[in-house]
A and B are shown apart, each in its own frame.
Chain A
Amino acid sequence: MSDHTADFSSHVRGYLIVGAALLIGTLLTVWASYIDLGHHWNIVLALVIASVKASLVALFFMHLISEKQLIYTVLAFTVFFVTGLMFLTLTSYHDLPAQTVTH
């Protein structure tokens, strides 16, 4: 890493801004959970907010926004596989034969 000491004050500012954003996101999530938007939309909203918060942590705290190609490749495969696991398992569970055979 060849960042100079001087650069870091802007980095520090960035961390504090992201931290504040995360705290706001938390408040938002809790507040939104008390509003009844219909069961499914509550889930979507909560997950969207959580995803935004997670992205902020990953991109800025974990420096993914300026990471190297190799790390991106590893994570891309991971995301592909975990999505496959989730999606295929849930689909298998609910894709049932239309009806049982009766004689």
Chain B
Amino acid sequence: MDIPYTTQPRPDTGIYNAKIGIWLFLASEVMLFGALFSSYILLRVGAAPADWPHGLLNIPIGAFNTVVLIVSSVTVVMAWASLKMKKLAQFKLFQAVTVLCALTFLWVKSYEYREKFSHYEVWKTDGTRLTGHIEGKPMFLTLAKLQVAKKEKIEFVADPHHYSEGKTPMVKHEAHAEHKPVEIPLAEIKRLSAFVPAHSTYFAVYFTMTALHALHVLGGAIVIGYLFGPGSKMWFTDPERLTNRVEVAGLFWHFVDLVWIFLFPVLYLL
């Protein structure tokens, strides 16, 4: 006996197996990201304002990534619609664009990450705090690493504002040019940290949530890519089952977009 309702919907529920399967999985993903958002809220509400960075993420780049995902959401549902309209070539085009959007998103994200890994905050022993860059744009430096390397000072190009000075407008990169490097002796530094997860709970949340989201983008891209490539051969043996698979993959993809729709304002704008 074969497993029924893989393609045709079951009469009393009105859906086919994979669709209930993906919605159940998405329900669990809602709980996963919901827990992370709850954690974010709890940690933020309990934090001292001076310790909660804001304005340190590049908003135009984040908005661009948001647009990329929205476009990919349109193309992925258009890919499914193309199959329903029996247009295989159009389906392949839309699937390919979706994957390209996904890869673009991931590349931009990795660029953002690298930017942050070479952007630093310095806590000086006199209590002042500076954010900025170190000459040479090294990544992941800490006070301990500098001491081990027997350095005595750093060349620091400070940002015009520090985030604890109230809600700062986005740090424009043009302002960068005005400043010359300043020497800070290691002896005056209490703590040095790039904007890495260990910097603060804000960045811990930012990196954890966006990395987990990026993993979902990658996973979705792989599945959608598979359906574009080797998986599309099923069009010639069982077109309805392929259409259902494309629909199910699209549902996952839309959920990934949905999470980002919340992540972007929460992490970048608020």
Q: Which A residues form the contact surface with B (CB < 8 A)?
A: 1, 3, 5, 8, 11-12, 15-16, 18-19, 22-23, 26-27, 29-30, 33-34, 36, 39, 42-43, 46-47, 49-50, 53-54, 57-58, 61-62, 68-71, 74-75, 77-79, 81-82, 85-86, 89-90, 93-94
- Contacting residues, chain A, for B100 (C-beta < 8 A): none
Q: Say whether, besides A50-B265, A54-B261, A89 and B38 are in contact (CB < 8 Å).
A: yes
With beta carbons under 8 angstroms apart, the residue of B30, B84, B251 that contacts A78 is B30
Which residue of the partner chain A has the closest CB to B64?
A: A26
B70 to chain A, nearest CB (A): 5
B98 to chain A, nearest CB (A): 12
- Contacting residues, chain A, for B71 (C-beta < 8 A): 19
The residues in B between 88 and 144 inclusive whose CB is less than 8 angstroms from any CB of A are: none
Across chains A and B, which 3 residue pairs bring their CB atoms closest together, nearest first? A82-B34, A19-B74, A33-B269
B105 to chain A, nearest CB (A): 14
Q: Give 5 A-B pairs besides A54-B258, A85-B34, A90-B45 with Cβ atoms closer than 8 angstroms.
A: A1-B243, A34-B169, A78-B27, A82-B31, A85-B31
- Contacting residues, chain A, for B261 (C-beta < 8 A): 22, 50, 53-54, 57
- Contacting residues, chain A, for B167 (C-beta < 8 A): 36, 39
Q: Bound complex: CA of A1 vs CA of B74, how far in Å?
A: 20
Bits for B51-89, please: 1 = Cβ < 8 Å to A, else 0: 000000001000100110011011001100100111000
Chain B interface: which size bin? 35 or more
Q: Say whether, besides A58-B258, A93-B46, A75 and B269 are in contact (CB < 8 Å).
A: no
With beta carbons under 8 angstroms apart, the residue of A22, A46, A57 that contacts B265 is A46
- Contacting residues, chain A, for B31 (C-beta < 8 A): 78, 81-82, 85
- Contacting residues, chain B, for A27 (C-beta < 8 A): 63
Q: Which B residues form the contact surface with A (CB < 8 A)?
A: 9, 13-15, 19-20, 23-24, 27, 30-31, 34-35, 37-38, 41-42, 45-46, 59, 63, 66-67, 70-71, 73-74, 77-78, 81, 84-86, 167, 169, 243, 250-251, 254-255, 257-258, 261-262, 264-266, 269-270
Chain B CB within 10 A, most for which of A8, A69, A78, A90: A78
A26 to chain B, nearest CB (A): 5
Whether B85 lies near A86 (C-beta < 8 A) is: no
Which residue of the partner chain A has the closest CB to B167?
A: A36
- A-B pairs with CB below 8 Å: how many? 127
- Contacting residues, chain A, for B15 (C-beta < 8 A): 68, 70-71
- Contacting residues, chain B, for A11 (C-beta < 8 A): 81
A25 to chain B, nearest CB (A): 8
A11 to chain B, nearest CB (A): 6
Which residue of the partner chain B has the closest CB to A85?
A: B38
Q: Say whether, besides A86-B34, A86-B38, A49 and B265 are in contact (CB < 8 Å).
A: yes
With beta carbons under 8 angstroms apart, the residue of B41, B74, B85 that contacts A90 is B41
Q: Bound complex: CA of A61 vs CA of B24, how far in Å?
A: 17
Whether B77 lies near A15 (C-beta < 8 A) is: yes
Which residue of the partner chain A has the closest CB to B257?
A: A57
